[in-house]
Structure formats: C-alpha cells, structure tokens
Amino acid sequence: METQQNVTTDLFIKIAVSNWELQNTRLNGLLAKLTDEQLAAQTAPDRNSGTYLLGHLTAVSDGLFTFLELGDRLYPHLDEIFLKNSDTSGLEKPSIADIKSAWNHVNTVLKEKFDAMQPADWFTKHSAISADDFAKEPHRNKLNILINRTVHQGYHMGQITYLVKKIGV
C-alpha cells in the first residue's frame, strides 16, 4: 500500500521529468521549423548561432550521465567546442546533422535511464557534491540537477526562438 508521501514523491518526480521531456519536445519542434542554414545563423547580432546553442545543450545534457551517475557520457568531445569555448573560437564544429543526431541520442538514452531510476534515487547526492556538503544541503540532489538543466534548456530555447521569428513561422 502506497503512503501519501510515496504518492507525492512519485508525482513530484513525474512533474520534473515530464517538464524535461516537454522542453525536449518543444526544442525539437523549433528545430523542425528551421533549415540547417537558418539554424546556423546568429540568434541576434553578436550572439550565438542556433547550431552552437544546440551543441551546447547537447553537451550539457550529455553531462547528466556523469552528474546523475548514469554511466559514461556519449559525446564528451563536445565539451571542448560547446562548453569550454565560444561560438567564435574558430574550432571546427560537427555538422548540424551530427549535432542533431547526438541531441536525439543523448535524450533517448537519458529517458531510458530516467525511467529505470527509482524515486529514492532522485533524492541522492549527485557526483559534483561531497558527502559532507550533501549531508548539510540534501536539496542538492539529482532531482535538483534535472530541474536546473531543464530551466537552462528553456533559457537557450528562448534564444533559438528568435531564429524562428526571423523566418516568420
């Protein structure tokens, strides 16, 4: 028999994971409206390109494997290009098709991993916090990381929206 606390915990996790999935769906919808050429444009003068932002979001999502202790990252090589350097670094970027493929692959595998997690797993420490600090601040858990990354994705998705507005869709 489930207690009210278990039902509430399960519901809270479902809310957080479904919001992450919703952000992915919304971003995929934006990407579907843009040609590769349109995605490669800067979102505004002297701002990142849509390609860079998608690569950045892919690298950040790929980092969830480490933070949430879900296994090895799938595309760690993207960090140098999309996390450690700016869009204008001059580093060669993967093709847009490769970035889109990596984006979809990372999120598909993450969804499988999330579905396999038990509710209590979400409230354990993530890999970037020490056991001592976690004992003092238990809110710095895996669920908090997912919520943070969902918000981060929404921020950058807002930037990509400017590309869609430019083409009048």
Mean pLDDT of the chain: 95
CA–CA distance, 150 with 38 (Å, rounded to integer): 24
Percentage of residues in the chain with pLDDT exceeding 90?
91
pTM of the model: 0.94
Q: Quick one: tokens of 45? A: 């003068």
**Does residue 1 have a pLDDT over 60?**
no
Tokens of 77: 């090589």
Domains of the chain: 38-167 (1.20.120.450)
What residues form DSSP beta bridges with 42?
49
Q: Which residue has the tokens 């999935």?
A: 21
**DSSP H or E segment with residue 8:** helix 4-33
Q: Hey, is 49 helix, strand or coil?
A: strand
DSSP string, 57-82: HHHHHHHHHHHTT-S--S-TTHHHHH
What is the rounded CA–CA span in Å between residue 100 and residue 106?
10
Q: Please tell me the total number of residues recorded for the chain in this structure.
A: 169
Judged against a pLDDT cut of 90, whether residue 14 lies above it is answered with yes
- What count of other Cβ atoms lies within 10 Å of the Cβ of residue 132? 8
Instruction: Convert the pLDDT of each residue in 23-77 to its tens digit.
Output: 999 999 999 999 999 999 999 999 999 999 999 999 999 999 999 999 999 999 9
Contacts by residues 5-12 (CB-CB < 8 Å, ≥ 24 positions apart): 6/119, 9/119, 9/123, 10/119, 12/143
